Amino acid sequence: MAPRVSKAEKKVVYDQKLCQLLDEYTQVLVAGADNVGSTQLQNIRRGLRGDSVVLMGKNTMMKRSVRIHAEKTGNKAILNLIPLLVGNVGLIFTKGDLKEVSEEVAKYKVGAPARVGLVAPIDVIVPPGNTGLDPSQTSFFQVLNIPTKINKGTVEIITPVELIKKGDKVGSSEAALLAKLGIRPFSYGLVVVSVYDNGTVFNPEVLDMTEEDLIEKFALGVSMVTSLALAISYPTVAAAPHMFINAYKNLLAVAVETDYSFPLADKVKEYLADPSKAEECFKRAVKVLPPDAESLNQYANFLWIVRRDFWGAEERFLQALGAEPDNSYYASRYANFLWSNNGGEETCFPLNNSHNLNL
């Protein structure tokens, strides 16, 4: 008979195992394990076998082992794991792709009956249809206010009934009814609640972000920096091209109002003398796909200031906004257009009018 291992010896073995995993792995998924059975956990371990290890244990023991490892190795970043060890959680150490491991874990959810006293994670709706129960069970349905009728000697539910709301505790009557109907409304498994990656902690939702999402958020950030820099006349790499363009526009404006001349200014003067030539250029520019917001914005200004075509100008301003909806510069240009014409002889029309384009 093998000698009995004391609690102190078990703690030492657990400390060694966890410290070894912390040495070997830099990526850890913290997973909630509420209502997860031992058989289900074994299946998850089997499915992750290869590049991932699942370790369960008491939170106090895990926190203790993390502190011991941090003291021995000087790796203070590992202490970021400690605040995450709250509730019934386990650790999944992995060398694989975090998103793929998280998706693999999610596959091992299993159906579970509604037990008395359990907090419902979802709304439970009993569908209409024949229950297969004999008419003597009718009173049971009446207690729960479920409309029924007798059809071919069995009880039939007439309409869908919301039996339990999300967040409510399951009562004895509800649990008994679901058991009679053979409905297992809930599903449980390991749920990733936090992610630790080489000292950095973040929410699992970050794993769902695609490369396109990152590019979109980066572009939005650059756009906001550019808009701020232009508003306060502070030079930045992102704002510099716009500043040069604006300076060039100012130079053209001076040339147009004076006798000063240079080749491109002469071209502008020619367009002002015959606006139809300029309009043809704008029309060619805005036909490019996808539409360029700046070309649309300039065409809108032309229609507004030169042609006094307020309907057409508003349409182009809205198209510019549609091309870059998060760019505050085009929003401010459209706002200026609305403000300048508010109360005048020519008025702009609201955004929801039928003549506006669908953006």
Give the CATH number of the domain where residue 56 resides.
Answer: 3.30.70.1730
- Is 60 exceeded by the pLDDT of residue 170? yes
Residue 105 within a domain: yes
Q: Do residues 21 and 144 both lie within one domain? A: no
Which of 147, 176, 208 lies at the terminal end of a domain, its last residue?
208
- Is 90 exceeded by the pLDDT of residue 93? yes
The pLDDT-based confidence of 3 (bands split at 50, 70, 90) is low
For residue 109, CA distances in Å to 34, 41, 43, 102, 187 come to 12, 10, 10, 12, 6
Q: Which of 163-172, 240-249, 268-277, 295-304 has the lowest mean pLDDT?
A: 268-277
Q: Do residues 96 and 120 both lie within one domain? A: no
Which of 185, 219, 236 lies at the terminal end of a domain, its last residue?
185
Closest by alpha carbon to 131, among 144, 115, 118, 117? 144
Q: How many CB atoms are closer than 10 A to CB 78?
A: 21
The pLDDT-based confidence of 92 (bands split at 50, 70, 90) is very high
Q: Do residues 120 and 167 both lie within one domain? A: yes
Closest by alpha carbon to 31, among 122, 77, 100, 93? 93
Residue 352 within a domain: no
For residue 318, CA distances in Å to 194, 284, 321 come to 42, 18, 5
Q: Do residues 99 and 43 both lie within one domain? A: yes
Tens-digit pLDDT profile for residues 325-351: 878 778 888 888 888 776 444 444 333
Q: Do residues 53 and 195 both lie within one domain? A: yes
Residue 348 within a domain: no
Alpha helices in 49-117 (DSSP H): 59-73, 98-106
- Is 70 exceeded by the pLDDT of residue 172? yes
Q: Which residue has the higher pLDDT, 82 or 173?
A: 82
Q: Contact at 8 Å (CB) between 135 and 150? A: yes
Q: Do residues 313 and 331 both lie within one domain? A: yes
Bond prior to 121 in cis (omega within 30° of 0): no
CATH number of the domain at 152, please. Answer: 3.90.105.20
Residue 356 within a domain: no
The share of the chain scoring above pLDDT 90, in percent, equals 9
CATH number of the domain at 311, please. Answer: 1.25.40
Q: What is the number of domains present in the chain?
A: 3
- Is 70 exceeded by the pLDDT of residue 230? yes
Q: Do residues 70 and 90 both lie within one domain? A: yes
For residue 159, CA distances in Å to 128, 146, 280 come to 5, 8, 64
Residue 140 within a domain: yes
- Is 80 exceeded by the pLDDT of residue 207? yes
Q: Do residues 11 and 91 both lie within one domain? A: yes
Q: Do residues 142 and 256 both lie within one domain? A: no
- Is 70 exceeded by the pLDDT of residue 194? yes
Residue 334 within a domain: yes
- Is 50 exceeded by the pLDDT of residue 357? no
Average pLDDT, the chain: 83
Q: Do residues 27 and 166 both lie within one domain? A: no
Residue 144 within a domain: yes
Residue 160 within a domain: yes
- Distance CA(109)–CA(188), nearest Å, equals 5
pTM: 0.58
pLDDT of residue 346: 42
pLDDT of residue 316: 87
Q: Do residues 99 and 150 both lie within one domain? A: no
Q: Which residue has the higher pLDDT, 209 or 91?
A: 91
Q: Which of 9-13, 57-61, 70-74, 317-321 has the lowest mean pLDDT?
A: 9-13
Q: Do residues 194 and 218 both lie within one domain? A: no
The share of the chain scoring above pLDDT 70, in percent, equals 93
Range of the domain at 175: 114-185
User: Own/partner pairs for 9-17, CB < 8 Å, 24+ apart?
Assistant: 11/61, 11/64, 14/57, 14/61, 14/65, 15/61, 15/64, 15/65, 15/68, 17/55
- Is 50 exceeded by the pLDDT of residue 246? yes
- 3-class DSSP state of 219: helix
Residue type, 87: G
Which of 150, 175, 208 lies at the terminal end of a domain, its last residue?
208
